[in-house]
Amino acid sequence: MNPTEAPQNKKDVIIVGTGIAGSLIAKLLTDHVFDKQTRKMIHRSDSGDPDTYRELSILMYEAGLEAGLELDSASSMTTYNEYIRKFYKEEAKVPNSPYPDLRQAPSPNVLDMQPITPPFPDKKGYLVQFGPIPFASDAIRVGGGTTLHWLGTTPRMLPNDFRLKEKYGRAMDWPIDYDSLKPYYEMAEFEIGVSGNVAAQEYPIKESMEDYYGKDYVFPMEEIPQSYMDQQIIRGLAGTSVQLNFENIPLTLVPSPQGRNSTPNPAYGKSKLIKAASSESGYILSLADIDHEGYKALGAVWNPYQGERCEGNASCVPICPVQAKYNALKTLKKALYKVNKNENLQRNPHIQVQAQSVVYKLSVDQENQDRISKVHLRRYFTQEKTDFAEEVIDTSDSIVILAANAFENPKILLNSKYTAVEDGQKVEKTVANSSDQVGRNLMDHMVMLTWGLFPDPVYSYRGPGSTTNISSFRDGNFRSEFSAWISPLDNWGWAWPAFSPGSDLSEFLSEGLFGEELKEALAYRLSRQVLFHFEIEQLPNPNNRVTINDQYLDVLGIPRPVVNYELTEYEMRAMEQAKLASDQMFARLGIKDFTRYKATDNNTFIYNNVRYSYNGAGHIVGTHRMGHDKTDSVTDSYCKAWDHPNLYIVGAGNMTTLGTSNPTLTLAAFTIRSVESVLKDLETILK
């Protein structure tokens, strides 16, 4: 199909993706306007007569369906209820199970992953997996992105996570440190609405909690209660330690900060807004109180009074039935609807969101090859058919922001080729890739599970997926030899590793149990099931990467992500050590170990003559990392491409290293920080 120049008014900003990164940027930009008198960007709460300022014009693209972006109350509720009904009907309750499975915008799915038989790739799903082992995590391409099915756990990274090279001689240091990111963590915790207890946090770091969080800092909402199972395990492990690498490591169990609604914390004070102030270097964002408004939990997109409190539905992954858990649609709605002078929500006419639009490449200006001049996309019309319209959008006077996930961002960039002339010679180049780092350093947390039966009933399968974590192994001198990890205690029994309770029922039926005997057997086992969860840090490895190949296209003729992925001894030894830690904790708690790793598992290996298996955490990071200069990275610390002054690339792919925390809070923090640079660039454009 021949490309057509889509009719459009000039857009100041083009954002690709409506997940948390794209939605945060859209929300923060639409909160600001250009003051015609001062020629500066100001927060709209500080603006006066509309004639004195200019609104930003923003266009967002979403690969998923139009229905997922209809945020008016009736349509939004209808769509979300369809997600819930689909979840109920699916036999396998995997993360993607509630959401549309689109041929035009396919998603990686854990059900598609299987062992790879070299030299042939595994092509069963969306990813083309060359391995040698399959990449084990999924993502979803819908409005709101993968925050629809994330667990919602929101710990911050630790100071040493930003300086692995300096402290332990491993990987590469970030171009920013923890202290630089701390105020943006506070902004992210406000926007997500984090529940937790700062006073109960304890980490293996030299900094005090007062230095780490800040004096008198509290989370916006009080902690989600720890489960009965957690309390029994905490009681059994209190005051004990495990021995690893000839070192005794004290066991510390802390309530996990979470992006789900609980009771607003009175000590948090007023509700807040994130606003920019101009400075000599550009703009600085900060949190400001709204004097007349107390902090309150943000409920469902369709009804602010539903989902104001977590109801303990236990289906956080893959879907919260009432939207008590944060998802990026809540932030996106704040961009699309603004409070008018009558204190009512009114649709913001200056931002447009175009769904069913798959961006697949960028073009550079032929005269000024530093600038991105066009965005190319294929817009499909229905879920059933694969016909599409080709659209080309002029971006020569716009800022372009790629805010898709860590598979899609590099896929777009690697598909964006151009010819430059250097020293009189034609040179083939790829957008934003002078460092040759686009697509490289793909990382995930390897999730090693151990499971067993507690001596007494602990009543798992209740409440959010996890409310407590063991923080003892998040940092330490051992990181020079093997990975750090965090250990959430899972409230899901053996559902993940053994498909309980269905597998238990099947086993007991095969043994001839029926009636009261069957009920007693199920009650005994299910009430005692315990699952320990070791999320093991993976270091950046340039050979773990996303590439593209014209042999592997989707139904729209767009290259699929081709993945090469392996583990190193650094990570494998960490799994060995984590299993040793699990054995010691199980013994101390009197847990009968039922853990079995099999040769038929998708992700399995032998290390020191012992088999280990793992799963993916859904923490897909590192394919367009930020760094100190253009030789070692794709972007600077503000997520701005080194090679192109009007291109930003945001999301978990910017992470230089992974650390031991779930990445969503950290990517939200540095995405918020990136808006300072975007505002500065907009000031220049609008002048």
Q: Which tens digits make up the pLDDT trace of 543-563?
A: 999 999 999 999 999 999 999
Q: What is the pLDDT of residue 246?
A: 84
- Which of 18, 647, 73 lies closest to 365 in space, CA to CA? 647
Residue 479 lies in a domain: yes
Q: 10 Å Cβ neighbour count for 609?
A: 5
Residue 514 domain boundaries: 224-255+445-537+568-613
pLDDT digits (tens, 9 = 90+) for 53-63: 999 999 999 99
Residue 498 lies in a domain: yes
- Round to whole Å and give the CA distance between 382 and 115: 34
Assess contact for 608 and 576: CB atoms under 8 A: yes
Residue 482 lies in a domain: yes
Residue 433 lies in a domain: no
Q: What is the pLDDT of residue 250?
A: 97
Q: What is the pLDDT of residue 339?
A: 83
Q: What is the pLDDT of residue 521?
A: 97
Residue 158 lies in a domain: no
Residue 361 lies in a domain: no
The 8-class DSSP code of residue 147 comes to: G
pLDDT digits (tens, 9 = 90+) for 253-283: 999 999 999 999 999 999 999 999 999 889 9
Residue 327 lies in a domain: no
Q: What is the pLDDT of residue 1?
A: 45
- Round to whole Å and give the CA distance between 488 and 473: 11
Average pLDDT over residues 315-326: 96
CA angle, corner 360, sides to 358 and 366, nearest 5?
Answer: 135
Mean of the per-residue pLDDT values of the chain? 95
The pairing of strands 372-380 and 446-453 is: unpaired
Total count of domains within the chain: 1
Q: What is the pLDDT of residue 292?
A: 83
Assess contact for 405 and 651: CB atoms under 8 A: yes
pLDDT category of residue 342 using cuts at 50, 70 and 90: confident
- Round to whole Å and give the CA distance between 147 and 20: 7
First vs last Cα of the chain: how many Å apart? 38
Q: What is the pLDDT of residue 291?
A: 83
Peptide bond into 3 cis (omega under 30): no
- Round to whole Å and give the CA distance between 98 and 86: 5
Q: What is the pLDDT of residue 478?
A: 96
Residue 459 lies in a domain: yes
Q: How far is CA 454 from the centre of its chain?
A: 33
Peptide bond into 119 cis (omega under 30): yes
Average pLDDT over residues 155-182: 98
- Round to whole Å and give the CA distance between 196 and 267: 12
pLDDT category of residue 656 using cuts at 50, 70 and 90: very high
The 8-class DSSP code of residue 477 comes to: G
- Round to whole Å and give the CA distance between 516 and 525: 14
| Least confident interval from 39-53, 246-260, 462-476 | 39-53
CA angle, corner 443, sides to 580 and 635, nearest 5?
Answer: 145
pLDDT digits (tens, 9 = 90+) for 358-402: 999 999 998 887 899 999 999 999 999 999 999 999 999 999 999
Cα dihedral 41, 46, 49, 54 in deg (nearest 10): 20
Q: What is the pLDDT of residue 4?
A: 55
